[in-house]
Structures are given as C-alpha cells and as structure tokens.
Homo-oligomer: A and B are copies of this chain.
C-alpha cells in the first residue's frame, strides 16, 4: 500500500531517534518502533540517517547576466539538487527594468515548467519601483510568491536606492511578505572598480579588492536601520563576513529582527583562491562571486554565527558559468567575468562533512540550517522541512559510510568545474523520496521524467 522505511535513524531539527516511517501517497503517515508491514514495500534504511529533503534557498538557474546564460538550466540544476539530497529549491524570478512582476513570473514559470526534478518556488527580484509594482507585490502573494529580493549592489542595473527599500519594506510589512537583500554598497563598488581600472588593475585578483568587507558591512547596517524605521523584519542573503555578522548582532541588540543566510563557499573557501597579485593564472575566476570569498577569520565567525543561531539558512547561491567559454570572457578585464559559481549539488554533503563531522555543528543543526529553517522562513512548513506525520514525504536516506571526493568530472550539474574540487564528501544519498516517490534508490537516480512541482508558498 505504501512504503515502509525501516531501521533508519531519523534526524529532525530537534530529534534524533531510531524508528520506522510509513509513507502513503505523498505523505508521511506514521512513525514508530517496529511498524508492521501492511501491504507496504519495505525499504531498508539500516545504518543510515533519515533527513528531511534539503531546501536550497538560493539558486539562479537559466539566468541571464547580460548576454550570458548560466550553464545550468532548471533541468540540469534541479537534477543536481536531487542528486545532492535537495528536494526543494527556491529560485529567482527577476524583473527586468520596465517589466511587470507578472511578466517576470510568467517567464520563469515558462523556463521551469515540466523540467524540474525537484519541487521549486520563486523569490521575485524587484529592480524597479512604482505604484504598479507595489500593487503587483500583492498579486505575487496570490501566485505563491511570498518573498522578494532586492539588490543594494549592481549600480545602474539591479540596484535600488534607500527610498525604494523603505517603500518596499513598508509594503512587505503590510502584505506580510519577506524581503531579502543582497547587501553590498553598489555606489562604492563602482568607484573602487573605476579606481582599479584607472590603475591598470584588470586581473581577477582585483575582484575581491573592489568589494571589500566594509561595502558589505555598511550595506547591512543601512538596511537594518531602514528596517528599524519601518519596524519590520528582513532576510539577508549570502552573508560572507565577520564584520557583517557583528553589525547584525548590533542591530539585534537594538531589537531589529533579521534572518540571515550564508553559503558553503563562505564557510569553506577563502580569498587565497584568487591567487597572488602578480599571478598570471586565471584559475581564480572560478571563485569570482559576489560578495567575494573572505578570510579564514570570517569563516570561523560564520560557523559561530550558525551555532549561536544568528545564521539560520544555507543557500548555495548556485549560479554556474563554465570556466571555458564563459568565465574566460573576463580574462583581460575582471569586471567582465560573469559572477557566480555552482553549488546546489554539494551543499548538503559539504555541510554534513565539514559541519557535522568537522565538529562545528550538531546533526540536528545541520537539518535546521539546510532544510527546516528554510521551510519555516519561506512559508512551506510543515509541508516541507521536517520528518513528521502529515508532512510531504521528502526524505533523504543518508549513508554515512560512503566516502568520496568532489570532482567536476563526476558531477551532475552542467558546468565544467567545481569550486570544491577535491573536497572530501563523507556520506551519500542512498535513497531519496520526493513527495513519497522514489527518486534515488541505491544511489541511482531513478527519476526519469522530472515531476517537480511549483510550490505555492504562504
């Protein structure tokens, strides 16, 4: 009748215990000691952890940066998600200037419909503001888009000013939507780029130099001040620095409510990947992302921020470009290197290996930051994000005994490198279920036709 998952160790954001799980249809229907088989298919999870499917809060599939399109589209991107143990992603529909939000959403639906291997939702990126856009925010809620994204960077393109942030936050508060922010001071970055260029500093090494920590930490403080004036909460995407985190703590001391996301790359990589100033290697272009990689010092602070509950979600910020043919457009001019890197496939494995096994977080904290908190923050809990009776049977059976190394050659995501090449990955997805359906069995992807559904969020 259903599927009976036997012998696994269930891990939620709070609990860890041995029990069997029965899935019927798309849902978890019971959890118990030695559940009896009543016409179910039995699948063994013996020796394995049972996690709620991962939720990646931050992807950019089939996205266009100028004339360049990301290497991964929704098909390859969501397939990589499933392979990595992520059963839900939240991608971005981003309004072009002058475009309506509806149109932006329509286009994103068109790109994603019918090709997704995992379930998916959208944040709506707002880059333009007027009364119509403001009204459209309400329409978006009705379309299941309850979170909006704004950029304090990318001047002349995505960047919005403080007045627009204020208005959007007011509107968001009114309609109970969550606003997400890319926090970097775009005006200053423009100037720093201009300085670098006028000094003939065109190599990728300068990517991190023109986006110093202070442009992030300043933007964070400014955003949180506006949120304080409006008296509302905000979500900060891809926090990269200790200084930024300290500014968040200062705002919290004043009573500002803020959700914070970071990414595996900010937890595990540092700016030495950009190489030396005089290096002629272009390898560092693989790490040209914004905000840029920081110091070991910042990594430590971010792990601490997770432990102390300041950082509650981990997105991949997957935005992949091929090293050959895409990244290399900027070989003579770092500002032309498309910003972004892949990450959706290895997010869970890295957090398990370096977070849990590395002794930095507990296994319950791993579930919280890779799945549960995301579901709660973005309005899909308890449908997603937990192992509980009545929830979607999005389940990862994680075999902790398998060892491997990350390698672009073996990856599912459709890009020619991995920023985590050579990193250890302990454990793997042995079985995986999406809404009760088997998608991976015995470490083989068996989902032949993508059946991921759009998530209408609340």
A395 nearest CB across to chain B (Å): 15
A65 contacts the other chain (CB 8 A): no
A382 x B162 contact (CB < 8 A): no
- Interface membership of chain A positions 377-402, coded 1 if the CB is closer than 8 angstroms to chain B and 0 otherwise: 00000100010111100000000000
B187 x A14 contact (CB < 8 A): no
A390 x B252 contact (CB < 8 A): no
- Given known contacts A162-B187, A389-B19, A218 and B214 CB-to-CB distance under 8 angstroms: no
- Interface membership of chain A positions 106-122, coded 1 if the CB is closer than 8 angstroms to chain B and 0 otherwise: 00000000000000000
Q: Which residues of B contact A163 (CB under 8 A)?
A: 155, 187-188, 190-191
Q: Which residues of B contact A162 (CB under 8 A)?
A: 185, 187-188
A390 x B308 contact (CB < 8 A): no
Q: Which of A15, A16, A253, A382 has the most CB of B within 10 A?
A: A15
- Given known contacts A221-B218, A249-B252, A29 and B33 CB-to-CB distance under 8 angstroms: yes
Instruction: Give A137-172 interface residues, CB cut-off 8 Å to B.
Output: 155, 161-163, 166-167, 170
How long is the Cα–Cα vector from A155 to B308 in the complex, in angstroms?
33
Q: Which residues of B contact A255 (CB under 8 A)?
A: 300-301, 304
A69 contacts the other chain (CB 8 A): no
Q: Which residues of B contact A246 (CB under 8 A)?
A: 253
Q: Which residue of B lies closest to A312 (CB)?
A: B309
Number of A residues contacting the other chain (C-beta, 8 Å)? 63
A225 contacts the other chain (CB 8 A): yes
- Given known contacts A12-B14, A30-B32, A221-B218, A229 and B188 CB-to-CB distance under 8 angstroms: yes
Q: Which residues of B contact A222 (CB under 8 A)?
A: 185, 218, 221-222
Instruction: Give A329-363 interface residues, CB cut-off 8 Å to B.
Output: none
Instruction: Give A60-113 interface residues, CB cut-off 8 Å to B.
Output: none
B249 x A17 contact (CB < 8 A): no
Q: Which residues of B contact A13 (CB under 8 A)?
A: 13-14
Q: Which residues of B contact A15 (CB under 8 A)?
A: 12, 14, 382, 386, 388
How long is the Cα–Cα vector from A15 to B13 in the complex, in angstroms?
9
A382 x B188 contact (CB < 8 A): no
A219 nearest CB across to chain B (Å): 9
B308 x A14 contact (CB < 8 A): no
A14 x B386 contact (CB < 8 A): yes
A252 nearest CB across to chain B (Å): 6
A18 contacts the other chain (CB 8 A): yes
How long is the Cα–Cα vector from A386 to B304 in the complex, in angstroms?
26
Q: Which residues of B contact A391 (CB under 8 A)?
A: 17
A237 contacts the other chain (CB 8 A): no
Query: Which residue of B212, B309, B372 is within 8 Å of A309 (Cβ)?
Result: B309
A204 contacts the other chain (CB 8 A): no
Q: Which residue of B lies closest to A372 (CB)?
A: B14
Q: Which residues of B contact A389 (CB under 8 A)?
A: 10, 17-19, 31-33
Cross-chain pairs A/B with CB under 8 angstroms, 7 sampled: A17-B390, A31-B31, A163-B187, A166-B191, A212-B229, A218-B222, A255-B300
Complex A-B, nearest 3 residue pairs according to Cβ-Cβ distance, in ascending order: A30-B32, A309-B309, A162-B187
* 15 extra A-B contacts, CB within 8 A, seeds A13-B13, A30-B33, A166-B191: A12-B14, A14-B368, A15-B386, A17-B382, A19-B390, A30-B32, A161-B187, A162-B187, A163-B188, A218-B221, A218-B222, A222-B222, A249-B252, A257-B308, A309-B309
